[in-house]
Amino acid sequence: MPDVVTRFYLQQLPEAKLSNAQLQAPCPFCAGKEAGKSPLLTVFLNQESFFHGYFRCVNHCVSGGFPLHFARLRGVSPSLAPGFDPDREYFGREVEYPVKNLHNELIGFADKLTGDQQATLAAGGIAPETLAELRIGYNGRYLVFPYIQADGNCYAARCVHPERPEDFFWYGDERFFGDQFHIFNAQEIERCENGALFLVEGEKNLLPLKQLGLPGIAVPTAADLAHVDPLQLAWIRTIFLWVNHTAESEAMAKAFATRVGFKVRIVRWPEDAARNASLFQLAAETTTPLQKTVFAMIREARAFSPFPTPASEFQTFSERLFQESGESYASLTSGFPLLDRALGGIHGINIMGGAPKAGKSAFFIQIASEMAMRKIPTLYYDFENGRQKIYLRILCRLCRLTIDQIKAASLSPEKRRRLQQAQQRLHQALSWLRVVNDRKLSPETMRRHIDFIRHETNSDYTVVVVDSLHKLPFKDISQQRSGIDGWLRQLEAIRDEMAVSFLVISELERSDDGQFDRQPHLGSFKGSGDIGYSADNAMVLLPKWDPFDNSPPEQRANELWLVASREQSPGLVASYRLDFPYWGFREE
């Protein structure tokens, strides 16, 4: 079934013939006006094209446009045209125009556009019909570009030196010299309602596009883009923005696209294009058919979008998939086999809650140091113990000596050898393990830390330990709940953007009697309802020992429960017995 646009044109042009997504019919606007010519109207009906529904006359008897403009020219009710909106308000209708205009002067200027000036424009492939359609003239020294207003009259014109564009002046009514009127061929905006339109830098650069039969408007310079009111282009569906090949013009184009929205598609110059190149120069100097070159560049035009291109997105996905299939990704393990099997390795955001003094910090310090010794870059953000205690506990576990023994003045030769070997291993690990005690930490600072250690170690992945979630810096203690949730959002973003794995310590919520639940569940976490949504894995470390029991510390054990996971099955992970007095755990 034909679409509504095709159906509209078939109804209005009963003699038309449809072939290869183009409708051709005798032009109803110029039939019989010019003897010896076969007036033809062409309508482009490729539904995948930005110019679907655009019509134009090969004789340039009227300016082309989209269905609503066609309906107005034919004198039929706009309500019959696709896209008609009876409540639509048009920009500029409130302007009060003067009685006097430049109509007669423009006729005189057009008559003077002969000889050398017409030949110069013809070098760019510009035919007299195109110049006449835009009512361009010559005053003896300057090309005259009339700025015609919404009422169809011209009250001001810009006169530009043919060889020095920077040499120009405005002619006519000074009230129309202002920035808000700096749109050449502005009446084209209404003709292209619900369709596509070109916006170029410089009136002369619009001529090749009009010669090809494409709709467009121009601003005098790229700087004038800053004065274009987005409301003026509100009913244009797609804007192709084509500026000169300069850094200043390209910056102005990006600023305009950001302000107007993502319907703006910036036409980009090829990498081998000369700096300061312009569209008219391209038309005058290209050795290939201009139409082929222009449409190739149009196809490559991309919206100044917040989203990556499909090609870039797929490439990123493929690269990440390749990385996750490699040894670096597989090596992201904790060193505890049962924990790694339960989690599938240390990936994503892993949050572990536990009661005070249950050994949460010691547990994650052990994992962090083991990963660093396997040359996995690890950042440990500590707000609990201090850098000196963390290094001392790692050293204690590595050399199997107590803290008192390490600090003792005299050690047996065997113990001193073990201590020296452990010190050497710790020293080597510190190239991969960075402990941070910054009480003013921000997500931006964390990103810089990650970038640094990744660059320093030439690694694809980084593990970040946060000890603890509830002591991360935020502005006001009264806003702790929102502050924690805000940090969780940031951790999610860092995880996704930078392929970072997190180990995060959280506190648990006490019940009304001041005790902690003996049955772990997702609601056990303190101070944030977002943990369940942010964590890829949520775990609870529960002591199996009574804090008031006098049993030896080495008999104490904790159970680690996986209470929620995106990809793994919840349940008991393992039991971890305290490796007393060496600040570690043994998995059972």
Q: State how far the Cα of 247 lies from the Cα of 539, in Å rounded to an integer.
A: 53
- What fold characterizes domain 327-333+347-536? Rossmann fold (3.40.50)
> Region 385-409: what's the mean pLDDT?
93
Query: To 5 degrees, how large is the angle CA 100–CA 102–CA 105?
Result: 135
Least confident of 164-168, 470-474, 578-582: 470-474
Give the strand order in the sheet containing 349-354: 433-436, 378-382, 462-467, 500-507, 349-354, 537-543, 557-565, 571-579, 584-587
**Residue 183 near residue 199 (C-beta atoms within 8 A):** no
Tell me the C-alpha distance between 54 and 198, whole Å: 13
Sequence-separated contacts (24+) of 73-82 with Cβ below 8 Å: 73/29, 74/12, 74/28, 76/12, 80/8, 81/8, 82/4, 82/5, 82/8, 82/53, 82/194
Q: How confident is the model at residue 36 (pLDDT cuts 50, 70, 90)?
A: low
CATH 3.40.1360.10 fits 103-307, yes or no: yes
Least confident of 69-78, 89-98, 246-255, 392-401: 89-98
Q: Which CATH superfamily is domain 4-80 in?
A: Zinc finger, CHC2-typedomain (3.90.580.10)
> Minimal CA–CA distance to 214: which of 234, 246, 253, 185?
185
Q: What are phi and psi of 334, to 5 degrees?
A: -85, -20
Structure tokens at 403: 């803290």
Cα–Cα dist 69/238, whole Å: 17
Strands 349-354 and 500-507: parallel
Measured from the Cβ of residue 500, the count of other Cβ atoms closer than 10 Å reads 23
Question: For position 309, what pLDDT does the model report?
Answer: 73
pLDDT of residue 1: 43
Instruction: Enter the DSSP assignment of 44.
Output: E
**CB of 27 closer than 8 Å to CB of 39:** yes
Write down the pLDDT at residue 34: 53
* Pair 469, 351: CB distance under 8 Å: yes
What angle do helix axes 443-457 and 480-498 make, rounded to 10 degrees?
30
Mean pLDDT of 494-516: 84
User: Are 180 and 150 contacting, i.e. CB atoms less than 8 angstroms apart?
Assistant: no
Q: Which residue from 481, 475, 467 is spatially nearest to 531, judged by alpha carbons?
A: 481
Alpha-helix runs per DSSP H in 176-246: 188-191, 206-211
pLDDT of residue 74: 93
Residue 549, Cβ density class (10 Å: 0-12 exposed, 13-18 middle, ≥19 buried): exposed
Quote the pLDDT of residue 89. Answer: 80
- DSSP, collapsed to helix, strand or coil, labels residue 239 as strand
Say how far apart CA 127 and CA 483 lie, in whole Å. 66
The CA distances from residue 411 to 402, 406, 419, 420, in Å, are 12, 8, 9, 11
Place of tokens 């007393």: 580
- Residue 319 identity (one-letter amino acid): E
Is there a contact between 96 and 253 (Cβ–Cβ < 8 Å)? no
Q: What is the pLDDT of residue 446?
A: 96
Q: Cα–Cα distance between 376 and 454 in angstroms, integer?
A: 10
Provide mean pLDDT across the span 61-69: 93
Per the structure block, which two tokens stand in for 151? 């009422």
| pLDDT at residue 176, rounded to an integer | 94
Dmax (CA) for the chain in angstroms is 116
Q: Render pLDDT for 4-18 as a digit per residue (tens, 0 to 9).
A: 999 999 999 999 999
Is 184 strand, coil or helix? strand
**By three-state DSSP, how is residue 22 classified?**
strand
pLDDT at 402: 93
Q: Residue 35 pLDDT > 60, yes or no? A: no
> Among 166-175, 276-285, 308-317, which stretch is predicted with the lowest mean pLDDT?
308-317
Q: What share of the chain is helix, strand, coil (3-state, %, to 5)?
A: 40, 20, 40
- Indicate the pLDDT class of residue 572, thresholds 50, 70 and 90: very high
Write down how long the chain is: 588
Q: What is the pLDDT of residues 176-210, one digit of tens each?
A: 999 999 999 999 999 999 999 999 999 999 999 99
In whole angstroms, give the CA distance from residue 187 to residue 232. 11
User: Is 398 strand, coil or helix?
Assistant: helix
- Statement: the pTM of the whole predicted model exceeds 0.75: no
Site of tokens 């930490």: 441
The residues spanned by each domain of the chain are 4-80, 103-307, 327-333+347-536
Same fold, 4-80 and 327-333+347-536: no
Kindly tell me if the per-residue pLDDT of 254 is higher than 50. Answer: yes
pLDDT at 215 over 80: yes
| 322-343 pLDDT per residue, tens | 877 878 888 899 999 999 999 9
Does 449 have pLDDT greater than 80? yes
Rounded to 5°, the CA angle 259-260-266 comes to: 100
Strand residue runs (E) in 60-142: 137-138
